[in-house]
């Protein structure tokens, strides 16, 4: 129904779920809603980093800390359903009110606090094998100033794998060392793309992604360059090319 790591607007979500116009908006805009026996939770999260803990909703590693509505308590029927492990909870997040939501997958309640508001720590079952291996995205090639169509495989867009990769490597470009926070300050914090280094042609049925061995954080320029060839250059090759051309 929804694909982990993909972006969805509320409009997309209504259309995928076939929500009639009379049932749109309202509770959908309040943070969580039950629809046809499943629960849909929309979470605005603080940006990762030093200040992350000042937000009520934030990622800590691969766990998502979340506060329900201000007046929530565990006796409320909807909260009871959220805590019920056998009811599916679809979790969507975004870091900016204007962005579409990212589908994080089905959340499992790892811990909860019987407080008002109710606090829940979500964990996610992570599918190491996305349904579609390759997808085309347009990546703006900043060096040439034009859009280049590249094949990016969906491992690169799996938010869970991405977080594990960044947790290990940080958000500095693995190839050229570019750090968006250093260059752009606050708005650059946490910004980086992720590249999957195993060529799609080498991925067999039994392949399971290792977010730390198989993924590297990469800036959009290096990302565009690494995909200049198909199969992509290896990180080592691209590093060498960069070195050779810059003395
Ligand atoms: Zn780079
Ligand atoms: Zn890539």
Helix (H, G, I), strand (E, B) or coil at 5: coil
Q: How far is the CA of 20 from the centre of ligand 2 (A)?
A: 38
Across the chain, what does the average pLDDT equal? 81
Q: Are 166 and 25 in contact (CB under 8 A)?
A: no
Full DSSP string of 154-205: GGGG-HHHHHHHHHHH-SS-TTT---HHHHHGGGGTT--EEEE-S-GGG--T
Q: What is the pLDDT of residue 115?
A: 94
Q: What is the pLDDT of residue 165?
A: 83
Helix (H, G, I), strand (E, B) or coil at 153: strand
**Residue 138 pLDDT more than 60?**
no
Q: Are 192 and 171 in contact (CB under 8 A)?
A: yes
**Among residues of the chain, what percentage have pLDDT more than 70?**
77
Residues in contact with 111: Cβ distance below 8 Å, sequence separation at least 6, in sequence order: 120, 121
**Residue 5 pLDDT more than 60?**
yes
Q: How far is the CA of 194 from the centre of ligand 2 (A)?
A: 7
Q: What is the pLDDT of residue 148?
A: 47
- Which position has the higher pLDDT, 41 or 129? 41
Per-residue pLDDT tens digits for 81-134 = 999 999 999 999 887 777 788 888 899 999 999 999 999 999 887 554 444 334
Q: Are 193 and 126 in contact (CB under 8 A)?
A: no
User: Tokens in use for 46?
Assistant: 């603080």
Minimum mean pLDDT range among 57-66, 132-141, 165-174, 196-205: 132-141
Per-residue pLDDT tens digits for 181-191 = 899 988 888 78
**Residue 52 pLDDT more than 60?**
no
Q: Are 200 and 133 in contact (CB under 8 A)?
A: yes
Q: How far apart are CA 96 and CA 162, in angstroms?
A: 19
Angle at 175 between CA 172 and CA 189, to 5 degrees: 20
Any bridge partners for residue 66, and if so which? 120
Q: How far is the CA of 103 from the centre of ligand 1 (A)?
A: 27
What ligand is nearest to the CA atom of residue 220? 1
Q: Where are the domains of the chain?
A: 7-124, 134-245
| Residues with CB in 5 Å of ion ligand 1 | 173, 175-176, 178, 219, 222
| Residues with CB in 5 Å of ion ligand 2 | 195
Q: Are 173 and 192 in contact (CB under 8 A)?
A: yes
Q: How far is the CA of 188 from the centre of ligand 1 (A)?
A: 14
Q: How far is the CA of 135 from the centre of ligand 2 (A)?
A: 11
- Which position has the higher pLDDT, 10 or 7? 10
What ligand is nearest to the CA atom of residue 238? 1
What ligand is nearest to the CA atom of residue 172? 1
| Ranges assigned E (strand) in 37-172 | 38-44, 58-60, 63-67, 89-94, 101-113, 119-124, 134-141, 146-153
Nearest to 44 by CA among 106, 88, 100: 100
Q: What is the pLDDT of residue 229?
A: 84
Q: Secondary structure of 224-238 in the HEC alphabet?
A: HHHCCCCCCCCHHHH
pTM: 0.61
Q: What are φ and ψ of residue 225, in 5° steps?
A: -70, -40
7-124, which class in CATH?
Answer: mainly beta
């Amino acid at each position: 129904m929804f694909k982990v790591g993909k972006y969805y607007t509320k409009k997309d979500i209504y259309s995928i779920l076939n929500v009639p116009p009379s049932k749109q908006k309202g509770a959908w805009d309040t943070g969580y809603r039950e629809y046809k026996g499943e629960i849909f939770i929309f979470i605005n999260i603080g940006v990762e980093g030093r200040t992350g803990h000042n937000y009520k909703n934030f990622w800590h590693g691969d766990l998502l800390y979340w506060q329900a509505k201000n007046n929530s308590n565990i006796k409320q029927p909807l909260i009871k359903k959220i805590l019920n492990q056998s009811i599916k909870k679809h979790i969507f997040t975004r870091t900016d009110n204007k962005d579409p939501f990212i589908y994080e997958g089905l959340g499992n309640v790892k811990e909860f606090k019987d407080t008002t508001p109710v606090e829940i720590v979500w964990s996610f079952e992570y599918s190491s094998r996305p349904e579609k291996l390759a997808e085309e995205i347009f990546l703006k090639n900043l060096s040439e100033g034009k859009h280049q169509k590249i094949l990016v495989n969906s491992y690169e867009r799996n938010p869970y794998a991405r977080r594990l990769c960044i947790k290990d490597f940080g958000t500095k470009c693995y190839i050229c060392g570019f750090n968006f926070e250093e260059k752009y300050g606050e708005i650059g914090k946490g910004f980086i793309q992720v590249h999957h280094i195993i060529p799609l042609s080498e991925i067999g049925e039994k392949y399971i992604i290792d977010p730390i061995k198989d993924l590297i954080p990469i800036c959009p320029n290096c990302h565009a360059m690494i995909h200049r060839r198909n199969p992509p250059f290896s990180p080592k090759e691209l590093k060498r090319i960069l070195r050779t051309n810059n003395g």
